[in-house]
Amino acid sequence: MAAVAGRWPTMTDRRFWRQVAPADVAPEFAESTPDPPADRTDTDPPLVTDGGRPMPGVPDDGQDDDCGCGTSCGCSGGDSGHGHTEERRVRPDGGTGAANVEPDGKLKPIRFTEPATGSSQNVDDGRPDERVDVPDGVDLDTPGYGIRSEMSDIEEPEGKTWFMELDEAVIQDDRCIQCGTCVAACPSDSIGIGDDDLPKLVKMCTGCSLCWDMCPRGGLRYERQWKITGGDDNVKGAGDPITEFSAKVEDHWRENAQDGGLVTSVLCHLLEAGEIDGALIATESDDAEWKAESFLATTPEECIENAGSFYNQTLALGNLDLTQWEHKLDVPLPEASLALVGTPCEIEGIRALQDFDWDYAAQEDGVRAIDYTIALMCTKNFNYYSLIGELIEEERGIDRADIGKMDVLHGKMMVYGEDGEMLLEEDVENFHDAALKGCDECADFTGYCADLTVGSVGSSDEYSSVIVRTETGLRAWELTEPDLDYHDLEDRSAVGKLQGWDKKKAFDALQRPFDPDAPRFIDYADHAANYGTELHPHESDH
């Protein structure tokens, strides 16, 4: 109870007594507060109610209470000398005092409750995210993204593109090529990789448009990127390379490598020369035989151990967060220099990312670290679960654990056992159902944007075809060449013919114009017009 003008209220202040007791206090205070005695002074004992209880905030009469808190502050008695019990008192308003504050206002030592270990939520009676005891007639469904238009009248800026639109136009349309460029491009780390090896939104999208712009099946006009990287002549035949060779490694480890072992040899020489600190390559997953995943090799031994090819993507550009490899690098992450081995679409993606000074969040150091790029000749790649699990293991009865090597050569899918015996040799067309559908739109068989291109087409057995495209690629070749058995590329026409076939296939599959001279980025609206994609799917609660 508060005093009025520095004194206790008198009988003439009856209206005051009625007004200061709010309606939501205990009824006995709001309705039964007695009139104060007319002769009350400031030195009189504290007021009490009819039941002998102190007024809120007023000390009990005669209680040893140095702090003047009465029963309201919740402080402990005992050592404090307040005369309270050791148990913290509850205030009339339902609260208590701070448990870790001394009477003089100083903090006591803070004690933390250890979290429970070895226990988890019991979900035997239902899903952990299941709503229970929902009242009848109440709809608790989470509203779709379209609710944003009901919450704000602010018009969306023109040209703003969201991950949901990339998802609609590319991923849900079965056109994703699993390069991981959208993951690397996201400046808010909002895109991750799902259990199905496809990009997934893992937190709120900011609508920055970068994932759309950089996607080789979305907003990136990849044929324009060829010219930006390699010049005006980089769109015909196999491009305009500096030089071409057929080469093989003579070291004993080559028998485990693909064809001539060129990629592994180049990486080993770059590492030994101190040109790079590591190489982002593919390794076999610990959880599934013949499933590729990204790996940073930092020694020649690791490169040799992982020699060979896998016929599924690793989403390499989705694994450029160097903090996961920090324990393997001997330099600060911003100073790291790396080589990237990937498919032509992955090389297109990293080239586009590096052309801009935007901050790519967790992937920033990795994007900037790529100094050498090696493209693998590629007409198409495969979905791991469809190729290995269904077509090879289930339909043809070949246990994936028995596979020692795989190759696609001369139009054949070849599978070898651990001892080198042929387990399967069949037309690759019989496996097209397992191919990534977005690969049909690719016209980049020879990796126009890479420093080096390596493959088997154009060379005899046990040799690799090597196309040197840039001065950076030439430096890598010159480091490796002394240890190679090599000669001029044996069959340039074979490379040119397959490149021409790949382009024709792409022209048939592309539903947009193929134009190396057009702007690098394709507006979502233009893409949607060509592909019949829904505009603004996020606003229609897609």
Q: Name the residue among 226, 124, 149, 215 with its Cα closest to residue 178.
A: 215
Residues 6+ apart with CB under 8 A from 223: 235, 443, 514, 515, 516
Exposed/middle/buried for 424, CB within 10 Å: 0-12, 13-18, 19+? middle
Q: Name the residue among 340, 288, 287, 283 with its Cα closest to residue 314.
A: 283
Amino acid at 509: A
pLDDT given at position 240: 79
pLDDT given at position 334: 97
DSSP string, 398-413: --GGGEEEEEEETTEE
Answer whether residue 336 shows pLDDT above 80.
yes
Answer whether residue 315 shows pLDDT above 70.
yes
d(CA 453, CA 475): 14
Residue 254 CA: distances (Å) to CA of 263, 335, 408, 460: 11, 32, 18, 15
pLDDT given at position 83: 47
Running DSSP on this structure, what letter comes out for residue 394? I
Answer whether residue 28 shows pLDDT above 50.
no
d(CA 103, CA 80): 7
Answer whether residue 267 shows pLDDT above 70.
yes
Mean of the pLDDT values across residues 180-205? 95
Are 206 and 235 in contact, with CB atoms under 8 Å apart? no
Neighbours of 528 (CB within 10 A): 17
pLDDT given at position 257: 65
DSSP string, 464-518: EEEEE-SHHHHHHHHHHGGGEEEEE-S-HHHHHHHHHHHHHHHHHH-SS---TTS
Mean of the pLDDT values across residues 389-409? 91
Helices marked H in 294-361 — which ranges?
300-305, 344-354
- Residue with token string 């911003």: 334
pLDDT given at position 125: 62
Mean pLDDT of the chain: 82
Neighbours of 476 (CB within 10 A): 25
Neighbours of 215 (CB within 10 A): 28
Residue 361 CA: distances (Å) to CA of 134, 149, 152, 330, 364: 41, 29, 29, 22, 5
Give the phi and the psi of residue 43 in degrees, each rounded to 5.
-95, 0
Q: What percent of the chain has pLDDT over 70?
A: 73
**Secondary structure (3-state) at 119:** coil
pLDDT given at position 123: 59
Q: Which of residues 236 and 126 earns the better pLDDT score? A: 236
Q: Is 0.85 topped by the overall pTM?
A: no
Q: Which of 120-129, 366-375, 457-466 has the lowest mean pLDDT?
A: 120-129
Are 58 and 1 in contact, with CB atoms under 8 Å apart? yes
pLDDT given at position 373: 98
Answer whether residue 540 shows pLDDT above 80.
no
Are 155 and 146 in contact, with CB atoms under 8 Å apart? no
Answer whether residue 528 shows pLDDT above 90.
yes
Give the phi and the psi of residue 4 in degrees, each rounded to 5.
-110, 120
Residue ranges of domains in the chain: 156-220+524-539, 222-509
pLDDT given at position 50: 46
DSSP bridge partners of 455: 465
Q: What percent of the chain has pLDDT over 90?
A: 59
d(CA 536, CA 479): 51
Exposed/middle/buried for 171, CB within 10 Å: 0-12, 13-18, 19+? buried
pLDDT given at position 86: 45
- Spell out the SS3 assignment of 439-479: HHHCCCCCCCCCCEEEECCCCCCCCEEEEECCHHHHHHHHH
pLDDT given at position 11: 44
Angle in degrees, CA 495, 496, 497, rounded to 5: 95
pLDDT given at position 35: 55
Mean of the pLDDT values across residues 384-394? 94
Task: Report residue 280 as tokens.
Answer: 């982002």
Strand 422-427 relative to strand 452-455, pairing: unpaired
DSSP bridge partners of 405: 416
d(CA 215, CA 363): 16
Mean of the pLDDT values across residues 31-45? 52
pLDDT given at position 145: 57
pLDDT band at 277 (very low <50, low <70, confident <90, very high): very high
Neighbours of 100 (CB within 10 A): 11
**pLDDT tens digits, residue range 130-184?**
677 778 877 766 666 555 556 556 666 677 899 999 999 999 999 999 999 999 9
Mean of the pLDDT values across residues 267-273? 97
CATH numeric code, 156-220+524-539: 3.30.70.20
**pLDDT tens digits, residue range 86-113?**
445 555 555 666 667 777 878 877 777 7
Q: At what angle do helices 471-480 and 262-272 cross, to 10 degrees?
A: 90
Amino acid at 127: R
**pLDDT tens digits, residue range 211-245?**
999 999 999 999 999 999 999 989 887 777 999 99
